[in-house]
Structure 1
Amino acid sequence: MTPNLDTLIAAMIAAGFAGGLVLLGVFVRGVTPNPARPPSRLETMVRALRSPALTSRLAGAVVVGVLTLVLTRWPVAAAGVTALVMFWPWMFGGAKVEAAQIVRLEALVMWTESLRDTITARASLEQAIPATAETAPPAIRPALTRLTGLVRARVPLDRALLALSAELQDASADKVIGSLILNVRQRGTGLAAVLTSLASAARAELDQRRRIMAGRSSMRRSVQIVVIITIGFAIFLVIFSRAYVKPYGSIGGQVTLAVVLGLFAASFMWMRKLAGGEPAQPFLALDSAAIGDADLRVVAHLTGLSAQEAQELTANRSARVGARR
């Protein structure tokens, strides 16, 4: 027996209520941060779910979805509108992501110049890294703080730098980290001059990214205008042309509407790809980036970690290395 539309609506309401309870539990349950290890993917997701911006957007998406369901009695339309509100910043934003990449690159340039100046003052690399980590820009300071912990735990510096590369996940950072690793392994002279050249190249890249970001802003506005016009036309048909959209009230109409919304979503994602840019992929090989158990026990002792937390640190770093391959 084919289920009617009321049954589908009731099932959607029940599923939404259950999902809301799960999200509420995630929001209420606290997470104790551990500064000695980078956050895992689950911790990053939980932290994002607990952010006020995402909570407000989730509440708005639920309200808009329920209103759409009440007014049209189309569960597919309600699900599509809810997804649109939830993923609006990702699909039609992009500016914040690009701005975050620029902020991280600027922080990397400042740290590179600070590291160069400290090394020029006759400090070794093992001494310069902890000294510059304390005054590093906030965008990369947590990663440099963990690098300092590895250095103080007597982890070989080249392996600690590879762990830093696995955490930053940035091609521009890999250029600096790669030069530091070569200096550690070869113990050659002229590291300050190399860092000066890398900082100059990074500043040129920073200026170029800013110009590209300004040029993409017009493309993003065009994408948003197309989406708003499409949504406005759909609302006009629902309100002023009931006879035209009446076939969508059946099960077959909902299946057709799902196909149409899927095509629109694919086109919106394609326009989002045109309006945004993918960062360059990191290039350092991280086969030796994993920290051994003995070194982790030393880090755990110095930072007050338990044995279980030290094992989680190993698992998190292995996951990061696997994601890079």
Structure 2
Amino acid sequence: MEDAVVPGSTDRLARVLHTLRMRSTFYCHAQLTEPWALEMPAIVDSISFHVVTAGTCWLRLPGGESRELRAGDLVLVPHGLGHFLASAPDAPPGPRVDLLPQQYLTDRYSLLQYGGDGRRGQLICGIVSFDDAAARELMRALPQLLFVGGDTASAAEPIRDTLRFMAGELARTQPGGEAVATRLADILVIQAIRTWLAADPDTGTGWLLAMQDERIGRALEAIHADPGREWTLERLAHLATMSRSSFSTRFTELVGEAPIAYLTRWRMNIAHNRLREENTTAARLATELGYRSEAAFNRAFTRIIGRTPGAVRREQSAISGGVITPVRSSLSLLRP
């Protein structure tokens, strides 16, 4: 039977969640007074999230209906989608949040005070992206809006506990409070994804379904575990105990691209992360990721990433050397 080893799919997803690592995070503690409205800009390859710690607000995606958020609610907006927040469902669009004056308490944390002279509300908002290649694939499989209600059965007790802890940290001024709040925000994002998956293990599309498919998931995990191996269509099909044609068709249907195209993109995502985080070279990465020449690696990298390996290294050196400060680097994500 094709789906005989069901626990394997669960274990694979658990391992992906365990490896979630965030980067380029920026958080904002928003103290808002009605009436108010804000535009959250689109940011490529990121997830925005909002936690309502006091009061209520309304969230709207472009072309969509407004959704009310109450104290204790958590919402994730994946795929870098721009969206709107407001104190009323029919409020006109407000200014972009990154263009408003705010107090930067740290390089990655700001305090925003904005609005009229009405009822007060409070949000903690964040922008997160992920370095781990498997986690990035998982992000692509998320819905346009992931909502976890603070007062409904959809919110697991750990999420409610984290939300209460966060609200307590923000309610009083004390040393390190903003650092604690941002760490809690990281935890909330992972908890929300876990809750969504647990509510319906068969949910999602694309890569997420592929990971849960016993045969295709087995091949995917082999690629993830050893990306530098000399993988061929025949070897991957053999691992999945399928014919080459059946494997290629099934893989493409679930993942959305052919096996070797996926392998190439996976390798380039790993290379991109390592060029940004490590003192490595394109020549070394070419060898480790299964390329016979640095030139072939450079061509694949530029085609997939859109920049040369050298450009990525120079950009990271500028940030690390202080030419571009962390704050400017984070806020540059918000510019059109």
TM-score category, normalised to shorter length: under 0.3
Bigger radius of gyration, 1 or 2? 1
TM-score, L = length of structure 1:
0.26
Bigger helix share: 1
